[in-house]
Amino acid sequence: MNGASLAFIGDAVMALYVKEHLIVSGYTKSKDLQQHSEKFLSAKGQADFVIHLLEQDYFDNDEMEIFLRGRNHKSATIPKNADVITYRLATGLEAVWGYYHLNNQTLKLEQIWEQYKKYIGQKYETISLR
């Protein structure tokens, strides 16, 4: 599967994890849900997190290949709130999430989610994760 397809499904999986977490944490107002989900789902937050993972040599060889496949995919558009490098790093991370999901690697998804949740909570201290 190509990097764009993996990132497409990975984006959806990541969004589901975030939204479910916020609902379970007690957020009910649309404004709160939107504001808090943006911290998790922004290209900037994802790119910062993936840099953190890369500094830790988190990915094995197969995962790194998936990350690079997603990161190196040439997109016709770049979101207005992210530069090209940030967007590509985020896309690489989404590709890994998609790979985990499509290969039923639930434990890996849970592990990366727990790290991501902690990282975003610390980076954006204004998020009160209930």
The model's pTM is 0.89
Task: Report the pLDDT value the prediction gives residue 125, as an integer from 0 to 100.
Answer: 63
Q: What is the pLDDT of residues 33-62, one digit of tens each?
A: 998 898 899 999 999 999 999 999 999 999
pLDDT band at 118 (very low <50, low <70, confident <90, very high): very high
Q: What is the mean pLDDT of residues 77-104?
A: 90
Homologous superfamily of 3-123: Ribonuclease III domain (1.10.1520.10)
Question: Which three-class secondary structure state does DSSP give residue 96?
Answer: helix
Token digits of residue 85: 């490098």
Assess whether pLDDT exceeds 80 at residue 111.
Answer: yes
Catalytic residue, from 11, 32, 57, 60: name it.
11
Cα–Cα distance for residue pair 19/38, rounded to 1 Å:
10
Contact of 9 with 102, CB cutoff 8 Å:
yes
Other beta carbons within 10 Å of 74: 7
DSSP state of 126: T
**Domain boundary assignment for the chain:** 3-123
Amino acid at 64: M
Structure confidence at residue 76 (pLDDT)? 67
More confident residue, 82 or 111: 111
- Our measurement of the distance from residue 17's CA atom to the centroid of its chain's CA atoms, rounded to an integer in Å, reads 10
Active site residue 11: yes
**Rounded to whole angstroms, how far apart are CA atoms 69 and 99?**
11
43-55 and 106-123 are packed helices; what angle lies between their axes, rounded to 10 degrees?
110
DSSP code of 123? H
